[in-house]
Chains A and B, each alone.
Chain A
């Protein structure tokens, strides 16, 4: 079962607790953002607004910090998090085109998530696997020495995997 109303309310209460905990401490913003991100998985407008109000600082300051640190995310992350390394080695070997291809297939840009919540896409800095350039990671899986033509197949693999899991579920239910 996916939850709606009650769950959102609970999270809000949780968030209020987090803010309360740090409220009077100097430099509260970053720890609050960390815990909020853990709670929600990302930091949408409503959450940032709540934090700004709670800590009595302008939203622009909260947003500035969220966008400054790469560990904070404005968008939900997909079940499968795709990172395309755009470090120099990968870039030289065509990571740009690979990024473009993924972006085209999934119809999302860096930092975004597909509407079904399955994939999110990020462009990242060098991940230290230059020997495999160009390289992408999907959750823990590393895919190296890619060409643009490999991309559709890789994405399809995850879609298939997801479908299998769903079918399995249905079987169990039935």
Chain B
């Protein structure tokens, strides 16, 4: 039991656990204190001073960083406090590029909301407006420093959570900015394109490189057969953009919306996830049987792949050679599907809807074009899809539920759980016994690998063969585990890594929830519920039982790991420099 202290906030007696901040204590008493830089568990540094309160000290204190103590008397609202907060905000706004109408974050912006809340009517200080160039050279991430409020959330997430450290605070005082070292474009840094910086940014200073116009153009081009695939995590979050509670599964409406946008066919990336399990499961079994390179590490997460290429070039052989489901599907569509439907692959335009900004980078990797055409032509995030649906005037809430199209059709429960941390591992473990022995075991709900603990482990024994598996999510956690493997301190057969904390459900392309929501709700857990719910509802829950995938092997790929599947469904990796030479 933690100890409690009693303090007074605005004349009200409040009990709070020792070590809590004034902000937390006030929140529990129903007293709202405005904040800007604060983001629970990620950025608790008291940088912006928006949350100042009177604690009887010589100067006002930042409530988000000030600890409660016995008998403390806090005032959160007085004319002087309101005025001080407003001045702080006006100073931030005085050198902010205030073009709300054309800003990506308009109506979902914490700064805009704060200006309204604090009743800013006039900006009394005209700042010297430095104009910074916008960095849009990365295929995934755009940085607009003119919108940055220097809250440092992105720096914390990139450094502490992801252990990438591609951005930092540069210079001091009035000149300070958030940028890459030596002002390199993000594209020239070890940035892995995970987009975690985007989803924590309170304003429009970070956003995805949009492909919306390119997709509209393709849809309007009558010579093209434009098809779309949607990743499992998209259905678990898209609803948030249309007012559904977090964790609402909107699969049927999402499919209906995509059909109305004009896609010739709407497919489920889960089908390719099932295919991935067949290929990767077989790869694992072969490596174990033939003393191959172990641990085998999953390769579905392109942020993780780039991280490995930058930081663990000595371990590239541990990565599964399987393409990610998005790219497997692209290659299947431009080979098997093209042949089956009698469509010239040069006329097939594959769009992916992904919860992920790194998928944009992945789609552009030159080696991922095994048919001679890029596996995937354009990637849009969940946010961009919502944008298109709104732009097309589709009344999302009132859409009927519709089904994915044949010949790829419905996938399995194993495919859908790829969207949450532990899901790839669970899906694999549902099939590995079969791949080893030709028979299933009873295990279908492998709950030890579910949930958001930093590190999870599972063990499986089939025919006397022991398989030790580990699951990590968030690249900081991946780094810890890989360091142990490098040093020989830990040993596993199979490891799942997802770059984003919580896995794809919390990807950098997902709807952005403001700090006010994120401080209260664990998005990772809520969205994952939608995923596991869909898994439960499926009649088939093991990848190797997906009839369409089996048919694909029968008609085209022969068997997992065949020559044809190696040509189309597998890939290789390259060691990468962290920064340019000069």
Contacts and interface: CB of A to CB of B under 8 A. Distances in A.
Contact of B165 (A45, A59, A67): A59
Interface in A52-108: 57-64, 67-68, 74
A46 B165 CA distance: 18
Given A45-B579, A49-B579, A58 B168 contact: yes
Contacts of A45: 182, 579, 582
B314 to A, nearest CB: 15
Interface stretch (B169-177, B217-225, B279-287): B169-177
Nearest to B168: A60
B16 to A, nearest CB: 33
Interface centre among A62, A64, A74 (most CB of B within 10 A): A64
B165 A58 contact: yes
Contacts of A57: 165
A72 to B, nearest CB: 11
Interface in A24-72: 45-46, 48-49, 57-64, 67-68
B172 A63 contact: no
B578 A60 contact: no
Chain B interface size range: 10 to 19
Contacts of B48: none
A65 B169 CA distance: 9
A59 B579 contact: yes
A59 B181 CA distance: 7
B106 interface: no
Nearest to B165: A58
Contacts, number: 43
B164 A64 contact: no
B266 interface: no
Contact of A58 (B164, B171, B182, B582): B164
Which secondary structure dominates where chain A touches chain B? helix
B158 to A, nearest CB: 8
B251 interface: no
Interface centre among B165, B181, B578 (most CB of A within 10 A): B181
A145 to B, nearest CB: 27
Nearest to A48: B181
Contacts of A63: 168, 170, 181-182
A59 B182 CA distance: 9
A49 to B, nearest CB: 6
Contacts of A67: 170-172
A49 B170 CA distance: 16
B197 interface: no
A48 B582 CA distance: 11
Contact of A60 (B165, B171, B172, B582): B165
A49 B581 CA distance: 10
A18 B74 CA distance: 50
A122 to B, nearest CB: 14
Interface string B156-189: 0001000011111111100000001110000000
Chain A interface size range: 10 to 19
B172 A58 contact: no
Interface centre among B165, B166, B172, B578 (most CB of A within 10 A): B165
A64 B159 contact: no
A60 B166 contact: yes
B289 to A, nearest CB: 38
Nearest to B175: A67
Contacts of B170: 63-64, 67
Contacts of B159: 58, 60-61
Interface in A119-159: none
A63 B183 CA distance: 10
Nearest to B163: A58
Nearest to B171: A67
Contacts of A58: 159, 164-166, 168
Given A59-B181, A60-B159, A63-B182, A68 B165 contact: no
Contacts of B578: 49, 59
Given A67-B170, A67-B171, A67-B172, A60 B579 contact: no
A64 B152 CA distance: 13
A30 B164 CA distance: 21
Interface centre among A59, A62, A74 (most CB of B within 10 A): A59
A27 B182 CA distance: 22
Nearest to A70: B172
B313 to A, nearest CB: 14
B169 A64 contact: yes
Interface centre among B159, B168, B180 (most CB of A within 10 A): B168
A17 B166 CA distance: 27
Contacts of B579: 45, 49, 59
A18 to B, nearest CB: 20
A163 to B, nearest CB: 32
Nearest to A68: B172
Contact of A68 (B167, B171, B182): B171
A67 B169 CA distance: 9
Nearest to A45: B182
A62 B181 contact: yes
Contacts of B182: 45, 63, 74
A10 to B, nearest CB: 21
Nearest to B181: A63
A33 B101 CA distance: 45
Contacts of B582: 45-46
B168 A61 contact: yes
A81 to B, nearest CB: 20
A64 B150 CA distance: 14
A141 B579 CA distance: 40
A138 B159 CA distance: 41
A45 B581 CA distance: 8
Contacts of A64: 168-170, 181
Nearest to A57: B165
29 contacts: A45-B182, A45-B582, A46-B582, A48-B181, A49-B579, A57-B165, A58-B159, A58-B164, A58-B165, A58-B166, A59-B165, A59-B181, A59-B578, A59-B579, A60-B159, A60-B165, A60-B166, A60-B167, A60-B168, A60-B181, A61-B165, A61-B168, A62-B181, A63-B181, A63-B182, A64-B170, A67-B170, A68-B171, A74-B182
* 7 interchain residue pairs of minimum CB distance: A58-B165, A60-B168, A63-B181, A64-B168, A59-B181, A67-B171, A60-B165
Given A46-B582, A58-B165, A63-B170, 10 more contacts: A45-B582, A49-B578, A49-B579, A59-B579, A60-B165, A61-B168, A63-B168, A64-B170, A68-B171, A74-B182
Interface of B: 159, 164-172, 180-182, 578-579, 582
